[in-house]
């Protein structure tokens, strides 16, 4: 049994004891606290009604959690727009479509089927800030309830926003549906038996793409570990080759992450999903500026000719951005941190190296639908195989490790000492400690866990041997610090 409360929401395994797992009691407390803080954040005139969109992925516990969340919202006097089966980005966009006051997404993202979670949105369809999330956690622990009288109970309407989401993606200037249709692509889609099996085939059909469906029944019985990593996608790899497809597509249960497979069955690399989409958008802006004589800033307006990713994402995005004369910015790990940084610098494109593409021309949220639409447009223009496209990008390998500690107090000691040892290098401490070795084009990022005495270590270099060696060096130094 596990229950993890964080500023981004509440996540846990289903069943067990309140306070130790995600039980009906915990769901009610957290939903109630969301309503309390919603009223504080967005005061309404006397008699005004609050509206909240609720969407969910297809995991087995989804209907139960949805019923409790919607019932609690109604009991708090909040009107509910029930989106039903909906991807995370679809629910985010539905908040905007409906001009709602907020949204709640019921999904544990890439976690296994025994998990579920409540992810909380503001009126912009974006995740709450750290401060807002912390306030909800504090309120949920107070165990003080005051529900609405019968005359003030909320109501429920149901609406499917899938096609409106797809329409918005296809309406983007950077998406060339006609070019994709003419290319005649054939793809294999692995939607891990969740809501990706609903929206992705519809989008691909609208783009004129032949889609071979694999694990596309939205029943929550995940056919494999739902995290879209190469080790979990061997079935997709085999299906791509067997069907002589141009591309393999994998999404996680809530469809905010996109991982691709080359035509030969080899992984495109989830780190390169964002890199490839950014390369397309940057090159498109660069070429337009050259043809028209306009400045890059004018071509990109209202955005800037720059990109953003989190500190643990591949350097390849920075390299590609600088290749076109653009500027790259880094952010702390976490979607809310990346979007905040993107807004600060007006980024054209951003996201995370886990396959999360954030394209602000559509909305500020990771979105596999816009990711694949942009990727296929680029592929149609390039007229090359996916494996050939992958080779055009700077090649890096990331090694992921962790150090288990006996005492959480040791974490800061290790991080502080690392900054001293590598003070002559480029050090960033906005989220743990990231050390960049510019001359060798490699970096290592040390991040502490918020829930366990663990330091996660991500190291990247131009090859696997270099990344592994760097990680081993850092681990050895950390072990030496612990021993002192």
Enzyme catalytic residues: 109
Q: What is the DSSP code (8-state) at residue 15?
A: S
- The whole-angstrom separation of Cα 35 and Cα 439 is 51
Could you tell me the two tokens for 456? 């996660």
CB-CB neighbours of 438 under 10 Å: 10
Q: What is the DSSP code (8-state) at residue 11?
A: E
Three-state secondary structure call for residue 456: strand
Torsion region of 245: left, alpha or beta (phi above 0 gives left; psi -120 to 50 gives alpha)? beta
The closest alpha carbon to 433, from 453, 414, 447, belongs to: 447
To the nearest 10°, the Cα dihedral for 361, 364, 365, 367? Answer: 0
48 by Cβ neighbours in 10 Å (0-12 / 13-18 / 19+) ranks as exposed
The closest alpha carbon to 303, from 322, 320, 278, belongs to: 278
* CA 301 vs CA 275, 281, 361, 443, 471: distances in Å: 21, 13, 10, 32, 41
Phi, psi of 306 (to 5 degrees): -150, 165
* CA 345 vs CA 110, 301, 308, 349, 350: distances in Å: 30, 12, 9, 11, 11
Could you tell me the two tokens for 244? 């002589």
SS3 per residue for 62-130: HHHHHHHHHHHHHHCCEEEEEEEECCHHHHHHHHHHCCCCEEEEECCCCCCCCEEEEEEECCCCCECCH
For residue 204, the Cα-to-chain-centroid distance in whole angstroms is 21
* Interstrand relation of 442-448 and 433-437 (parallel, antiparallel or unpaired): antiparallel
């Amino acid at each position: 049994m596990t229950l993890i409360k964080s500023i981004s929401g509440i996540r846990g395994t289903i069943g067990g004891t309140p306070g130790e797992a995600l039980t009906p009691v915990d769901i009610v407390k957290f939903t109630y606290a969301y309503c309390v803080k919603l009223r504080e954040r967005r005061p309404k005139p006397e008699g005004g009604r609050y509206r909240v969109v609720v969407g969910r992925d297809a995991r087995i516990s989804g209907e139960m959690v949805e019923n409790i969340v919607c019932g609690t919202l109604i009991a708090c006097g909040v009107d509910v727009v029930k989106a039903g089966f909906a991807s995370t980005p679809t629910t985010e966009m539905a908040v905007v479509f409906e001009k709602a006051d907020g949204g709640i997404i019921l999904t544990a993202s890439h976690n296994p089927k025994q998990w579920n979670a409540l992810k909380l949105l503001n009126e912009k369809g974006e995740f709450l800030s750290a401060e807002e999330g912390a306030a909800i956690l504090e309120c949920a622990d107070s165990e003080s309830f005051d529900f609405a009288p019968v005359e003030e109970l909320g109501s429920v309407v149901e609406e499917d926003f899938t096609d409106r989401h797809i329409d918005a993606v296809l309406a983007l200037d950077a998406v060339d549906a006609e070019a994709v249709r003419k290319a005649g692509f054939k793809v294999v889609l692995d939607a891990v038996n969740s809501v990706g099996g609903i929206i992705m085939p519809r989008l691909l059909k609208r783009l004129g793409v032949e889609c071979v469906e694999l694990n596309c029944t939205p029943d929550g019985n995940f056919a494999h570990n739902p995290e879209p990593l190469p080790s979990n996608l061997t079935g997709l790899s085999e299906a791509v080759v067997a069907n002589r497809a141009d591309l393999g597509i994998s999404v996680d249960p809530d469809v905010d992450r996109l991982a691709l497979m080359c035509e030969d069955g080899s992984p495109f690399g989830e780190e390169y999903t964002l890199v490839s989409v950014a390369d397309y958008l940057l090159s498109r802006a660069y070429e337009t500026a050259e043809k028209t004589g306009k400045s890059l800033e004018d071509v990109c307006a209202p955005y800037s000719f720059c990109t953003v990713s989190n500190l643990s994402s591949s350097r390849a995005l920075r390299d590609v951005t600088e290749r076109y004369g653009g500027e790259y910015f880094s952010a702390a790990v976490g979607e809310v941190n990346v979007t905040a940084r993107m807004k600060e610098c007006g980024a054209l494109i951003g996201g995370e190296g886990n396959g999360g593409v954030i394209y602000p021309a559509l909305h500020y949220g990771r979105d596999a639908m816009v990711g694949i639409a942009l990727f296929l447009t680029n592929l149609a223009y390039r007229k090359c195989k996916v494996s050939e496209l992958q080779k055009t990008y700077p090649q890096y390998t990331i090694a992921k490790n962790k150090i288990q500690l006996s005492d959480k107090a040791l974490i800061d000691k290790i991080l502080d000492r690392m900054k001293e040892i590598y003070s002559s290098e480029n050090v960033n401490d906005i989220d743990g400690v990231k050390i960049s070795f510019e001359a060798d084009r490699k970096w290592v990022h040390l991040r502490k866990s918020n829930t366990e005495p663990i330091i996660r270590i991500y190291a990247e270099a131009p090859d696997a041997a270099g990344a592994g060696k760097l990680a081993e060096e850092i681990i050895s130094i950390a072990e030496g610090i612990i021993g002192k």
